[in-house]
Structure 1
Amino acid sequence: MKQEYRFYDELPDRKRSPVNDEASSGIEMRRSQRVVLRLPIQVRWTPQGDSAITEETVTLVVNAHGALISLAMKVKAGSRIFVRSSAVTGDKECRVVRVQEKPQGKSEVGVEFLRPDAKFWGLEFPPDDWKQAV
């Protein structure tokens, strides 16, 4: 089965948030291309003074600098989490940059790798100067 990917360097209708300082035009400029991809992942978080919590979940959008993931655990912006992808071995330490609660119970959580890694998702991303043909 052939998978189809869409690459974006801008996504319309994403408004400015407290953790992002993009122009108020409603379009966020990104450091790397986004790929809409549902990929199974495991997330591990250790709340301060507590034991580690692990959740099996999925990505919604990925890029070389992080991802947007669906998450039931109640993390906050600034939290450090570890993400394990089925595409590669090992964990990737991330910082939570945005949490948007959804009525379905799981939140959409934006995470940023502490060290960018274009190969973590098992994809080849287009070069930084690539623009989608219109």
Structure 2
Amino acid sequence: MNGITLQQAQQAVAAAQQKARDLNLKMNIAVVDAGANLTAFARMDGAWLGSVDIAIKKAKTARYFDMPTGDLGQASQPGGSLFNIEVSNGGLITFPGGLPIKNAQGDIIGAIGVSGDSVENDHTVAEAGMQALQ
């Protein structure tokens, strides 16, 4: 399986940044490769410092489990089958803003994580980055 290239990762970050600008948001945007290694990152001017770690962990979480972080969050609620999963793997993020990135063949090549505003806006910005590579 081929992982995301630096050029592709930077393209995803640029598209996410543009969406954030369109929505007048200040975001941290992280892209990881197929091995969940940080490949590209941007902290927009004025974005929350605390969201740097969250954006990276959202991207890693989306890649570790090959699903949107919000979907994992639904399964990890009290009483859910994955309750407390967020304490595994050195800490996961189980709310929206992390999405797997697939290539044209449908293989997961990496993931994007965005943090800096509401989880709905984080997801919207991450989706723009992901879609830039579809």
Q: Greater CA radius of gyration, 1 or 2?
A: 1
Structure with bigger strand share is: 1
TM norm structure 1: 0.31
Structure with bigger helix share is: 2
TM norm structure 2: 0.31
